[in-house]
Amino acid sequence: MTGLLKKIYHETLLGKVLIYIYHKTRNTIIPDAIHIKNTYQKKFGKNPDLTNPKSLNEKILWLKLNDRTSLHTICADKYAVREYIIDKIGAKYLVPLYFETLNPSDVNNKTINTLPCIIKANHDSDGGIFVHEKRNVNWQQIQKALRVRLRKNYYPASKEWQYKNIKPRIIVEKLLVDKKGNIPFDYKIHCFNGKVRMIQVDLNRGTDQHYRNWYSKDWTREPYKWSSPKGNGVYTDPSEEDLKKPETLTEMIKLSEILSKDFIYVRVDWYDVDGSLYFGELTFHHDGGYQKIIPEEWDLKLGQELNLHI
């Protein structure tokens, strides 16, 4: 009987349909806590403690399950968060918005007039489409890619509740580059209980030389790494080269602490373009809580500094 079921499952049209349905629905039918435990177990080789979390990654998972408010949804929405930023720190820190729409067909040669720009969705983290000049731009291909993005809801797969109720839309912003034409460094300020704890700097994003350095708020190198996969088994480990402290660091810290007051844990992203600061986004669950902090003892040390019950 078991052999017959396997044969039906793997070799018949019915089996293929069942496999398709399973893969399409598994993230929606599995309870959030079980999904999170299973994913963490695959990454870390052990189960997380979601009742009495101790490490920073475990506490990020706890926040995923227990810290869900409408403000999280507003701030995870790259379009709606603009009003929040205006209210908290002012419009001067916003990346200029050129265009927004709910319809991918609206993104075309007539509507995209100011270049260079970046085209992206307000509800995902897949980066954006860079347009430096109109010549040879395949607008139909861009529209097709945007339709795919707008159909996605990131909550079922990530269990990050803040994405569940965002209304997907397309936004077109100014592409930030410095005087030399380079994409600026990405400064990501991790805030615990309204205070800056550490600073992540991503340099040379989108290249094989993508490194990630970690600093304290006084710009001392941190003794750990918290890297993400770049592909082919390579991670965004720290560079050997030390980075010069940005002149905007004090301003970055002050603004990040203003923006983090409403949250237990949040990462505030910034771009420094030739001495001018631009807000990037607010992220509530860095790497989903699924990337190891090395040495492992620092996952626990950092976790001890984050108070979940304030």
For the stretch 259-295, pLDDT in tens is 999 999 999 999 999 999 999 999 999 999 999 999 9
Residue 190 forms part of a structural domain: yes
pTM metric for this prediction: 0.91
**Which pLDDT score, from 0 to 100, does residue 126 have?**
75
Average pLDDT score over residue span 112-136: 92
Residue 112 forms part of a structural domain: yes
**Which pLDDT score, from 0 to 100, does residue 22 have?**
43
- DSSP bridge pairs for 205: none
Q: How confident is residue 21, by pLDDT bands cut at 50, 70 and 90?
A: very low
Residue 194 and residue 153 share a domain: no
Residue 164 and residue 83 share a domain: yes
Q: How many domains does the chain have?
A: 3
| Angle, alpha carbons 232-156-41 (nearest 5°) | 55
**Alpha-carbon gap, residue 58 to 255, rounded angstroms:** 27
Domain hosting 10: range is: 1-30
pLDDT, tens only, 71-104: 999 999 999 999 999 999 999 999 999 999 999 9
Whole-Å CA distances, 287 to 143, 145, 267: 28, 24, 11
Average pLDDT score over residue span 141-153: 96
**Which pLDDT score, from 0 to 100, does residue 3 have?**
64
Whole-Å CA distances, 118 to 94, 129, 187, 206: 14, 5, 19, 14
Query: Is it the case that residue 18 has pLDDT exceeding 50?
Result: no
**Which pLDDT score, from 0 to 100, does residue 19 have?**
44
**Which pLDDT score, from 0 to 100, does residue 232 have?**
76
